[in-house]
Amino acid sequence: MKTISLEQEINPWEAQAARFDLAAQKLNLDEGLWKVLRYPNRELIVHIPVMMDNGHLEVFTGFRVQHSIARGPSKGGIRYSPDVTLDEVRALASWMTWKCAVVNIPFGGAKGGVICDPHKMSMGELERMTRRYTAELVEFIGPEKDVPAPDVNTNEQTMAWIMDTYSMHMRQTVTAVVTGKPLNIGGSRGRREATGRGIMIVCDEAIKKLRLNRESTRVIIQGFGNVGSNAAKLMAEAGYKIIGIAEVDGGLYNKNGIDLEALWNFREREGTIHGFPGAEAYDPAELLVTDCEILIPAATENQITSRNADRVKCKILAEGANGPTTATADDILGDKKVFVIPDILCNAGGVTTSYFEWVQDRQGYFWKEAVVNEQLEHIMIGAFEDVVRYAETHGVNNRIAAYMLAIDRVAYTIRQRGIYA
C-alpha cells in the first residue's frame, strides 16, 4: 500500500475520492460515468459583504457545492466555521449524494459553508450574513433545485432566516426551500432527534448481528452536540450503558454508566458537561481508545486515523459524524475485525427525516411524531440490511459496500436518463 502523509490522509476530498475510486473499481463502473460521478455538477463561491455591529464592513466567503441532481433536487447542510474549505464542502456534498442513495430517498447531494467564527458574531451579524448569503444563492436553491439544512454551527433559527429571505425574493412563503426549520413554520416533528435516533436504530441491528444485548453493551460517544446528545439520551433510555462522553475540551467517564437524564439537566443548567458530579473527568483522546462495545464518533471528521486506529478497542464503530475515520484507519480497523457502520448509513437518519419534512411542506399536511419515527425506522433498517447483504455478497467491508450500493443506484439512474448534449 502506498504511504501517504497525514495531511493527505485527513483531506476530506482525498478521503472521499479514495473510497469512491475503490468502490467504482469493484463495480467495474464505466469510465465515463466514473468521471461524471467523481466531480460535482456545480460549485459556487460567493463573497458576502456584511455590516458589522461596530459600523465596519466585513466580507465573508461562502460556498455551495451541488454534487448531483440525477435522482432529485440536491440536499445538504450549511456550516459556519473558520476552517471551512472548498475541498471540505466538495467532499461533504458528494457524501450527501451517496447517503441519500444508500437510504434510497429521491435527493442528490449538496453542501454549503461560510468561513466565519459564529461564536464571535452577534445574532444581528449572523442574521445579516445569512440573509445576504441566501440572496446570493437565490437562483440556485429551491424546493425543486437544492434544499439546504442545518449543519455545524447553524440551527433552526438560521433555517428560518434562509426560508424568509428566499420567500421574500419569491413574493410567497416557500417553506420547502430548507429543512430543519422550527416546528411552527413547517418543521417536522422528530427532526431534531432524527440523526441520534437513526444511530440507535442501526446500533440495534448491529448488536443483533453480533449477538450482543443492550444491557451489557457499553457505549462511548464523542461529541455532545445535537447528534451525540440525542443518541446518548435515546440509547440510555433504551437500556444501553453509556460509559463515556468526550467533548473537545474534556470528557466524562463512569464505568458503571452515566445517568444521561441528570447529565442533560446539568448541561441545561450550567451550559457545559464539565464538572458533572456523576462521572470523572477524562482525557477525550483517551476515551476514543477506551474499552467498550460501541464507539460513536459524533463530532467532526478525522478522529480515527493511522495514529490511533490500532488502539481502538470497540466491537462496533458507529459513525455519527461525517468522515470521522480516514481511509488508512479503515484498513487497520478491518484487520482488527471492527464492525463499522459507515457514516453514509449511520447518520442518514437526519437527511431521511429532512426528506419527510420536505414532503410534508409540499403537501401542506404534517405527520404525528410516531409516524415520522416509524417511517424512519423502516428506512434505516432496510438500508442497514441492504448494506450488510451487499458487503457479504461482494466480500467487501461495510463502507465500500455502502459506496458500491449508492454509486450503483446513482449510475443506474444516469444511464436511464441518458446524457443531455
Extract the C-alpha cell encoding 77: 447542510
Q: Do 399 and 340 form a contact (C-beta atoms < 8 A)?
A: yes
Element (H, E) at 208: helix 194-209
Amino acid, res. 1: M
Per-residue pLDDT of the chain (421 residues; tens, 9 = 90+): 456 677 778 888 887 888 899 999 999 999 999 999 999 999 999 999 999 999 999 999 999 999 999 999 999 999 999 999 999 999 899 999 999 999 999 999 999 999 999 999 999 999 999 999 999 999 999 999 999 999 989 999 999 999 999 999 999 999 999 999 999 999 999 999 999 999 999 999 999 999 999 999 999 999 998 899 999 999 999 999 999 999 988 899 999 999 999 999 999 999 889 999 999 999 999 999 999 999 999 988 889 999 999 999 999 999 999 889 998 899 999 999 999 999 999 999 999 999 999 999 999 999 999 999 999 999 999 999 999 999 999 999 999 999 999 999 999 999 999 998 7
pLDDT value of residue 259: 95
* Distance between CA atoms of residues 356 and 149, nearest Å: 13
DSSP per-residue codes, 181-203:
--GGGT--TTTTTHHHHHHHHHH
pLDDT value of residue 317: 97
Extract the C-alpha cell encoding 267: 448541561
pLDDT value of residue 102: 98
Long-range contacts of 42-51 (CB under 8 A, 24+ apart): 42/66, 42/140, 43/86, 43/90, 44/137, 44/140, 45/86, 46/133, 46/136, 46/137, 48/114, 48/129, 48/132, 48/133, 48/136, 49/132, 50/125, 50/128, 50/129, 50/132, 51/128
Q: Do 46 and 131 form a contact (C-beta atoms < 8 A)?
A: no
Strand ordering across the sheet containing 280-282 = 280-282, 250-253, 241-247, 218-222, 294-297, 316-318, 339-341
Cα-based distances in Å from 75 to 106, 137, 147, 279:
10, 14, 5, 39
> Where are the chain's structural domains?
40-179, 194-346
pLDDT value of residue 248: 86
Q: Which CATH superfamily is domain 40-179 in?
A: Leucine Dehydrogenase, chain A, domain 1 (3.40.50.10860)
Show the 3-state SS of 246-287: EECCEEEECCCCCCHHHHHHHHHHHCCCCCCCCCEEECHHHH
Q: Strands, E, within 133-248: which ranges?
A: 146-150, 218-222, 241-247
pLDDT value of residue 4: 67
pLDDT value of residue 3: 62
pLDDT value of residue 136: 98
- Write b or e for each residue in 204-231: b if 16 or more Cβ atoms lie within 10 A of its Cβ, otherwise e: bbbbeeeebeeeebbbbbbbbebbbbbb
40-179 and 194-346, same CATH topology: yes
pLDDT value of residue 421: 75
Do the bridges between strand 294-297 and strand 146-150 make them parallel or antiparallel, or are there none, so unpaired?
A: unpaired
Catalytic residue among 111, 181, 233, 315: 111
Give catalytic status of residue 208 as yes or no: no
According to the CATH classification, is domain 194-346 in 3.40.50.720? yes
